[in-house]
Amino acid sequence: MDETDLPGIGRRKDFVTASGRRIGVVELREGKTELIVSTWDDPDTCQASIPLTGDEASALGNLLGGQHLAMTLAEDHKGIPGIVTRQFSIVADSPFQNQPMGKASIRTRTGVSIVAIMREGEVVPSPGPDVVLHTGDLLVAVGTQEGLDAAADILRNG
């Protein structure tokens, strides 16, 4: 990971992918964020720049962080028949938005365990029933395929 001060602008953080693309984030002084893509050999030649709102940057962080966490958990459970890892997003019309997680009774109703919540790029490990769910939260769950399907339905429909 490279970090570069951009005098008068902000700070750039980026890295080179295995495919040779340079991907990064420019954190502008006024609090805005831009996702950037450039070539490995010339980080100053930007091939794409996507401005992100704070909510969009948080959502992207949740998606990437949640995916990494889910992959790690899936690897940990490899070889254990019947155990599956899945991610659920709390959307604006979820009946459990701004409600304590325990109100959904996911564990009791489905046998599924919510093992973490990705929120604004941060991990909330082993969340308890009193943790309030917010739009954009990404729940990382472990259970059977049937249980996870039922949990998805509960989070969508109540």
Return the ∠ at Cα 101 (arms to 122 and 67), rounded to 5°. Answer: 40
pLDDT at 108: 93
Instruction: Compute the average pLDDT of residues 10-33.
Output: 84
Select the CATH number that applies to the domain covering 56-157 from these four: 3.30.70.1450, 3.40.50.300, 3.20.20.150, 3.30.2270.10. Answer: 3.30.70.1450
pLDDT digits (tens, 9 = 90+) for 89-104: 898 899 999 999 999 9
DSSP string, 56-67: HHHHHHHHHHHH
The pTM for the full model equals 0.58
Q: Which residues are bridge partners to 44 per DSSP?
A: none
pLDDT digits (tens, 9 = 90+) for 49-67: 888 887 777 777 766 665 5
pLDDT at 123: 83
DSSP string, the chain: -EEEEETTTEEEEEEE-TTSEEEEEEEETTS-EEEEEEETTEEEEEEEEEEE-HHHHHHHHHHHHHHHHHHHHHHHTTTSTT-EEEEEE--TT-TTTTSBGGGG-HHHHH--EEEEEEETTEEEES--TTPBP-TT-EEEEEE-HHHHHHHHHHHHH-
Q: How far is CA 87 from CA 13, 65, 68, 123, in A?
A: 27, 11, 11, 13
Return the ∠ at Cα 105 (arms to 102 and 107), rounded to 5°. Answer: 110
